[in-house]
Amino acid sequence: MAVHRFDIASLAASPWKNGGGVTREIVCSPAGAGMERFDWRVSIATIDRAGPFSAFDGVDRVIMLLDGAGVRLRSRDGRIDHRLDVPHAPFAFDGGVALDGELLGGPSTDFNVMSRRGRLRADVRVLQERGDVAVAAHGLLLALRGAWRLNDIDCEAGAGVWWDGEPAEWQADPLDSGAALVAVRFTTSGS
């Protein structure tokens, strides 16, 4: 199995077209697919000012606050009105819905997961103690706080692993008290 390690501090930052923030892409699959053709994508974004979120038709999204006071997400049609102000609490929504983001007190850094509806479904959960991550052909693990042992790989906070195309399962063991880890698994739709 090919496992790819990453550290969020070393990811290149790409400014948003609207100037409201930057994105650090961790992985986009298939590689080189771009925003119109990916099956799944995971990134970290820093939002610097209020403004519209990009809409992605046919894409399911999960967003989670990492740092900052957070952002209020509101859809123009009134179906979504969510305060993303609790760290490490995943919020799932239809990526095709036009949303506006209002900062709740300064810049906000968020963890973002996207999956192409009809191809893959994302399961995003946060572990704070020893746990198993069930088998999946695609996924990502990121140490949010503290150090973790992921099978035989040690990861400090801000580092993690991703895999794509070969089924893998993981045993996640915290090495520090107060540790937190986000586990993202992608499974085929309908499974």
Regions of the chain short of the pLDDT cut 50: none
Q: Looking at residue 29, what is its pLDDT?
A: 95
Domain count for the chain: 2
Are the C-beta atoms of residues 113 and 29 closer than 8 Å to each other?
no
Q: So what's the pLDDT on residue 16?
A: 80
Q: Are residues 85 and 136 in the same domain?
A: no
- Number of H helices and E strands in the chain, helices first, is 1, 17
Tell me whether residue 154 is in a domain: yes
Residues 130 and 107 in one domain: no
pLDDT at residue 102 in the model? 95
Give the domain range for residue 179.
120-188
Q: The CATH number of the domain where 44 resides is what?
A: 2.60.120.10
The pLDDT of residue 54: 84
> Which domain-ending residue is among 116, 148, 175?
116
Distance CA(75)–CA(16), nearest Å, equals 20
Boundary (domain end) residue, out of 69, 92, 116 = 116
Whole-prediction pTM value? 0.94
**Which pLDDT does position 190 carry in this prediction?**
58
Residue 52, both tokens: 């519209």
State how far the alpha carbon of 173 is from the alpha carbons of 60, 127, 142, 155, in Å.
29, 9, 13, 10
Token pair for 47:
């939002």
Whether 16 and 36 map to the same domain: the answer is yes
38-55 pLDDT, tens digit per residue, is 999 999 999 999 988 888
In whole angstroms, give the CA distance from residue 177 to residue 119: 37
